[in-house]
Amino acid sequence: MVSHPSIAIGSIEAEHSRLPATTTTTILTVTPAVPADAALVVDVIGAAFRNDPTWSWAFPDPAARIRWWEFCIDGALRYPWTLKTDGFETVSVWIPPSGTEFSREAEKKLPGLLKELVGSRASEVAELLRRFDEAHPRNESHYYLSLLGVRGEHRGHGLGMALLRENLARIDAERMPAYLESSNPGNNHRYESVGFVPVVSFRAPGDGPVVTGMWRESR
């Protein structure tokens, strides 16, 4: 019999909402997404990153950005570490230690995909991706949080951070560190609140948006 972890939402609502805290507690079950869930995961991530400064710079066309998320999430779903609440209110996309964001076959398709999605800007976006890769720590095995998002109508109630805390509890049980890139500086303090520390930063080409790499030690 498989036991699925749950997270309680209620006491944390006041952290990320201006609404007064209530005594109501909602229990949400956290389970791994499977390949058949890909479209639902893309819907959540697409909505959550609609106004993200870095990814809006990379893919100004919303339809192209969705295609990019499809490509990324297809790679992540090779592992059981895309985690979601029972109603897809919020999802997190992790790459486990020794995993890769894309298969070798997908990496071969990447140049052509960028050309298709952004045309003459393909080299600029490829350079941004190279900077992501260059900044990524390689000297210690770790979990990598690729994406974290909350469906629009569920924002402001602490769901995303609650899911992240639940995920980090799993990782702490393995005594493993974690790494993420914050593509929106406005979110840095949220990640710092759960133990991530800024360790590197870089810009998109042409004095573009700033990305912050953040590390969390094993516990």
One-letter amino acid for residue 81 of the chain: W
Pick the closest to residue 164 from 141, 133, 196 (CA basis).
196
Rounded to an integer, what distance in angstroms lies between the CA atom of residue 21 and that of residue 146? 30
Its pTM stands at 0.88
DSSP H helical segments within 174-212, as ranges?
188-192
> For the chain, what percentages of helix, strand and coil (3-state, to nearest 5) are there?
45, 20, 35
6 is written with which tokens?
């749950």
CB atoms within 10 A of CB 158: 23
Strand segments, DSSP code E, in the chain are: 6-9, 26-32, 82-85, 90-95, 143-150, 178-182, 197-203, 210-216
Please state which CATH number belongs to domain 6-216.
3.40.630.30
Contacts of 140 (CB under 8 A, 6+ apart): 177
Contact 161, 59 (CB under 8 A): no
Rounded to an integer, what distance in angstroms lies between the CA atom of residue 208 and that of residue 203? 6
- pLDDT value, residue 20: 43
Contact 157, 9 (CB under 8 A): yes
Local confidence pLDDT in tens for the 219 residues of the chain: 344 565 554 323 323 333 344 434 567 789 999 999 999 999 999 999 999 999 999 999 999 999 999 999 999 999 999 999 999 999 999 999 999 999 999 999 999 999 999 999 999 999 999 999 999 999 999 999 999 999 877 676 788 999 999 999 999 999 999 999 999 999 999 999 999 999 999 999 999 999 999 999 999
